[in-house]
Amino acid sequence: MRYITGARWFAGKGRRAEIRSVATLPWLTSPGEWPAVRLEIAEVAYPANSEVESAKTEPSEFYSLAVAYRESPVGLLNHAEIARFDDPGIGSVVGYDAMQDSDACRVILRELIGRAWHRDPEAAVRFHLRKELTPDLEPHIYTGQQSNTSVMFGDVAMLKLFRRLELGRNLDIEIHDALSRSHVTDVAQLYGWVEGSWRMTGETRHADLAMVVEKLAEAHDGWALALHSLQQQAGFGSEAKALGTALAETHSALREAFPTARAAGASVAAVMRERLDRAMATAPVLTPYAAALQQLFDQLGPESLPLQRVHGDFHLGQTLHTPRGWKIIDFEGEPAKSLAERAAPDSIWRDIAGMLRSFDYAAASAPGPRSADWRNECRSAFLEGYAGGPLEPADATTIRAYEADKAVYEVVYEIRNRPDWADIPLAAVATIAGSSGSGSNSNGHSDPALKPTSIGVVTTKLKEQ
């Protein structure tokens, strides 16, 4: 339990947690082969501290562990030790995190190449491969801190082991699979994935456990690039425009691959108002702006918005810049939403607003004499890359509503996780609430991206989405 609760990827930090049960999937190795490797699923529960709290206890969570068992301790793996115990099948062993053990990673690669499918009466694990890989690819252990765990295989592929599992199909795999089939170049190609099933507390559970994607050579994090350009007082407009084009191409492919729908503006506004009400309970600082924001949301009423599958949590940190252009990553949506909410069709404005907010975050994180101009240039260039130009007044109202909705979410997130950052989205909320449809951006300046200019009105590409 200590290894799980101490890991960066454990989501229940600060809460009293206990392991309710552990399901072991079939061995990936033969008897007598060391290290002995298998995937295991830990069910973690959060016991209530009182009868009053018991009614509020959240459902248990599932975490995946790839475990490499060895006959004796390995000094170089001390940091990855999970436990020492006597296993009835293989004897006295030391269990290590297999994602930190090169020999164990080679076993996983071998099983992937062989499209292995291991089954027993209580569990199964199956490896899917879409693009051929070779067994000579050396594993490179990634030691950085992240919500999942990655291993690079040579300069070809990256395996990402999902830590906190969601039962059913993983959205990141589902979308990468669809986009790979459509030959979109704005995302990494899906090479394969691993799925598992197990019986626990009398029920059979299914989940995707890992995905394997193309390793992107010379990839640079979009957020870091943006901050660097700000610090150097350099332009970022061409990069922002190309990013807008990449998102438009990705949206087009998603529209072809998944069901679409339409939503009445009034129903969208109602959801935004409901989210605002919940947010104010956590962040009362939003209360002075509530009336103006609700009025803004109500302006969506006459609209009919097309819906489709979107990224759902689009910002600079979800992008990588490579010699072949931008790549969009992590299609799992906002972590605070349920799986059903993240899989449901949504408006393209959700992603557009997310990136516009991200430019604002970057400018506020690296203040300087040109930060405001940098932000405005990025916003205009991004919209031009996406849709061919700035927005008409009606569309500008829609995007302000979505930006406000996103900023409200950000205020709550920052108060809970990074209180020192809360002023950034709160400033955006204040300015949007006071703009009264004037086309102001999140720092109170006239925003050329939100009203017609010499570039012209939005093209039919955006209108048809």
pLDDT in tens, 333-372: 887 788 888 999 999 999 999 999 999 999 999 998 999 9
Mean pLDDT of the chain: 90
Domain ranges in the chain? 2-214, 220-463
Instruction: Say if CB 432 and CB 296 are below 8 A apart.
Output: yes
Radius of gyration of the chain (CA): 24
Q: Which residues contact 162 (CB under 8 A, 6 or more apart)?
A: 64, 148, 170, 207, 208, 209, 210, 211
Q: Which residues of the chain have pLDDT under 70?
A: 49-58, 144-145, 436-465
**Helices of type H across 182-318:** 222-231, 237-257, 265-282, 290-298
| CATH number for the domain whose boundaries are 220-463 | 3.90.1200.10
- What is the predicted pLDDT for the residue at 247? 98
Q: Which residues contact 392 (CB under 8 A, 6 or more apart)?
A: 452, 457, 458
- What is the predicted pLDDT for the residue at 465? 43
The pair phi, psi for residue 200, each rounded to 5°, is: -150, 130
For residues 421 and 83, what is the distance between their CA atoms, to the nearest angstrom? 38
**pTM, 2 dp:** 0.85
- List the 220-221 sheet strands across, edge first: 220-221, 319-322, 325-328
Residue 369 is which amino acid? Answer: P
| Residue reference for tokens 């809460």 | 15
Strands 164-165 vs 61-70: parallel, antiparallel or unpaired: antiparallel
Please write the tens of the pLDDT for every residue from 205-262. 999 999 999 999 999 999 999 999 999 999 999 999 999 999 999 999 999 999 999 9
Nearest to 158 by CA among 183, 131, 126, 179: 131
For residues 397 and 391, what is the distance between their CA atoms, to the nearest angstrom? 9
